[in-house]
Structure 1
Amino acid sequence: MRDWVEARWREMGVREQARFMVGCWALWEHRNKVVFYQREVDPGAVIKRTWDVVEEIDGGGCGNGGNEDGGRRSQVQGRRKGWEKPQEGFVKVNVDAGVKEDNGVSLGVVCRDCEGRVLWGVSCVQEQVWEPQVAQAVAVLEGVKEAHRRGNSMVMIESDCLHVIDALKRKAKGRSVLALVIDDILAASSSFVSVLWSYTCRVNNSVAHALAHLFPRIVGRVVWSDDLPPIVNNAVSFDLY
């Protein structure tokens, strides 16, 4: 089996390799549902899940742009960095979270308009202990709630956590902590005129990341309007859009 995989891997293009790796991950995810939750799994759902995730990665601006040959063009696109403007009339809210080694989580949120101007930002440190994906979902919830408080009505929420964005797009249901936070996010965002869920690479989420790690040991919440701290403004200045 190993020899076959290695031989096929060398023959694959970049996109095919992505499909293979995501397929392995999807199989493992569905295997866990069978083993730990005794849930029946439709093989077609595994294939659909694989294709959806690959398309989502391509759409996040971090893939090879759909090139099968894995050539120079795909390598250049794969290195592309930079925040991208939302469509006219929308604001984009980027979010990120970090799990602290000494317990608790830190959250970062930044809102920019369609010209790239910073409208507001949030840095938050909480004592609760969450799994990384739950922390990322809580960061999304923080962004949605602050956007609502600010009166933003057409909002694009962007995160570098693909699992959370995928769950929001699917309006995933369940009894886990993550599923409950997803429910809270969907309920809180229902008042928007329009809301879009967007995945991006971590390198394109640098401003929210900087805000999430601004006060790593101080529990509390700080909100900025217009002018962010200098260290975060530096991240904005180096963003490409």
Structure 2
Amino acid sequence: MKVPPKIRHFIWRAAKDVLPTKQNLQARHIPVGVECDGCGDHTESIIHCLWLCDQARSVWMSLLEFRSLLQKKCRTFCDLLEEVFSVGPAKKVALFATVAWCIWQRRNRLRENQSTWKLHEIGDNAQRLVDEFWSVNSQESGEPIPRHRVRWSPPPEDCYKVNFDAAFCEDSGLAGIGVVCRDNSGQVIAALRQNLGQVQSVEMAEALAARRAVVFAREMSLFCIIVEGDCLAVIQALRRSGLCPLLFGHIVNETKRLGSVRRSCVFQHVRREGNRLAHSLAKKAVLSADFEVWVEDLPEDVDVGFQSDFP
């Protein structure tokens, strides 16, 4: 299944019936009501939440690819997956998985009273996520294409580069971020690392890191900045005009607003190899309970990352 690992993992959990639906929580003796929050009429099982609920069906009905599938009588989500795999090309399977993941994410955010997609937006947003992922991963298998080594590159004179990264632990949900500001000679102006606690997803952590990078530049009185990170989804969202419809869109919108009041603020993508210093800071932040800042200095435990990152 050609989807991001987080969606593949979600589909595996759904097929194994281990998602924390109300039905499953009650089976584990957790005192919750079992009624679906979407329709209020049925027990919230996985197949109901993702497929049978009126709200979920309105999403699937908006997608021509899956209207015929709605006529099938599937008792479990695993049965439904078998139908999808038996009739669909790879991209249709990817779209099915992504839509199901979006429905689940929307369900979770509503339970936490957080902003999320409207039902009629899920289909288009899922299609866009699939198209972006396939575009980035469209290289056909075969002889590997040699990739030149990527290192950190300096900004133009009178400009500063602010690199950011996030590290995310899937098991605990804990995240840490790292931010480093450097001038055109590569010298560190300031750096920080911060433990964010539990965060919903790695993309959410990356979006928070990007916002912290812009705020940190303002705190350091840097007026002309290039904000650089290695999470393509976040950078694309920051570069796109208009309001961001993604689950972390409110953070992206705030980051763009903060950047707009700088003299110059450009968002730029770089591969992980060119972002090693920020990555080193982020990894250390996950293991730390502190919020730490260095001015014209770096902690000793990331010095190796600084040397390998240097142009």
TM-score by length of 2: 0.56
- Residue identity in the other structure for 1:160: D
Question: 2:252 aligned with 1:182, yes or no?
Answer: yes
Equivalent pair of 1:99/1:135 in contact (CA under 8 Å): yes
- What is the Cα deviation at residue 38 of structure 1? 3.7
- Residue identity in the other structure for 1:148: R
Question: 2:142 aligned with 1:85, yes or no?
Answer: no
- What is the Cα deviation at residue 236 of structure 1? 1.2
Larger Rg: 2
Tell me the distance in 1 between the aligned counterparts of 2:230 and 2:167.
12
Larger relative contact order, structure 1 or 2 (CA cutoff 8 Å, min sep 6): 1
Equivalent pair of 2:194/2:290 in contact (CA under 8 Å): yes
User: Per-residue displacement from partner, 1:165-202 (whole Å, max 9, x unpaired)?
Assistant: 00011035256540010011012112211111111111
1:219–1:172 CA distance, 2 compared to 1 (3 A): farther
Aligned to 1:16: none
Give the share of equivalent positions with the same residue, in percent: 26
1:120–1:29 CA distance, 2 compared to 1 (3 A): farther
1:222–1:41 CA distance, 2 compared to 1 (3 A): closer
Tell me the distance in 2 between the aligned counterparts of 1:86 and 1:213.
25
TM-score by length of 1: 0.70
Aligned to 1:233: 303
Equivalent pair of 1:172/1:179 in contact (CA under 8 Å): no
- Residue identity in the other structure for 2:306: V
Tell me the distance in 2 between the aligned counterparts of 1:228 and 1:133.
26
Q: Structure 2 regions of 5+ residues with no counterpart?
A: 1-89, 104-118
Aligned to 2:214: 144
Question: 2:98 aligned with 1:28, yes or no?
Answer: no
User: Which has the larger displacement, 108-117 or 176-185?
Assistant: 176-185
> Paired residues, what number?
203
Q: Structure 1 regions of 5+ residues with no counterpart?
A: 1-22, 58-63, 65-69
RMSD value over aligned CA atoms? 3.6
Residue number among 151, 158, 164 corresponding to 2:228 in the alignment? 158
1:178–1:172 CA distance, 2 compared to 1 (3 A): farther
User: Per-residue displacement from partner, 1:206-231 (whole Å, max 9, x unpaired)?
Assistant: 10011012243332310001110122
- Residue identity in the other structure for 1:87: P
Tell me the distance in 2 between the aligned counterparts of 1:31 and 1:227.
43
